[in-house]
Amino acid sequence: MRNAKITALATAAAIAVTGIAPATGMAKATGKGKGKHSVTAESTYVYKQAGKIFDGTLFKGETFKVERISKSGKFAYGMAYGHVNRHAWIKAADLKLKR
């Protein structure tokens, strides 16, 4: 009985670790982490939800402070500074980390 519990625990731990590892790899693949970024596109749309409900426009050189990345890695959520000045979603591909 004890061996069955240990085996079940080990299996559950292995499943949990393999489920987390791909998500970590995807976040690194986007190259976008938390922190202040600059908009690199001439203009990009700002959304209330990731890819839905247009809410404004940010322009090249304006600042966006990333707080999180969507599961797909395509959108970043955070505070938009400059023309918009509110929390919103934006395409992660249109951002570059400020140095």
**Dihedral sign computed on CA atoms, order 55, 67, 69, 42:** positive
**pLDDT digit string, tens, across residues 27-42:** 433 445 788 999 999 9
Amino acid found at 64: F
In terms of Cα–Cα distance, which of 54, 52, 84, 89 is closest to 73?
89
Query: Could you tell me the pTM of the whole model?
Result: 0.64
Q: What pLDDT shows up at residue 50? A: 85
**pLDDT digit string, tens, across residues 68-96:** 999 999 999 999 998 789 999 999 999 99
Both structure tokens of 75: 């959108």
